Amino acid sequence: MGAHHEDRRHPAATLLGQMLLDELRVATCERDRHDAAASLAAAGRAADAAAALQRLADGTFGRCVRCGSPIPLWRLRARPGVRDCTGCAAAGGRRP
């Protein structure tokens, strides 16, 4: 004998529950996207650091990889893995 189950919830409860689940899914997707972006950024910083260490070993650290000009000390202190002088960075790669 099957018992008849009467749904006594407010008619909007199902809709509200679905909306909350949708918000949770969106928040989870945004968090995952943020985590992926943070991981990519960390991998980029690690690659920049490795390249800077290689330039240090080669004796080219502190010189622009595009034009060979010295990179200002303030720029190296702010971003030790930086590869470009301020002129090449401003030119966005248009310099040789």
3 state DSSP class of 87: helix
Domain chopping of the chain, boundaries: 12-91
Could you report the per-residue pLDDT of 24-34, keeping only the tens digit for each?
A: 777 777 788 88
Q: Map tokens 């006594």 to a residue.
A: 8
Positions in the chain whose pLDDT score sits under 50: 95-96
The model's pTM: 0.56
Instruction: Give CA–CA dist 27/57, Å, rounded.
Output: 45
Instruction: Give CA–CA dist 10/21, Å, rounded.
Output: 17
Based on its alpha-carbon atoms, the radius of gyration of the chain, rounded to whole angstroms, reads 27
Mean residue pLDDT of the chain comes to 79
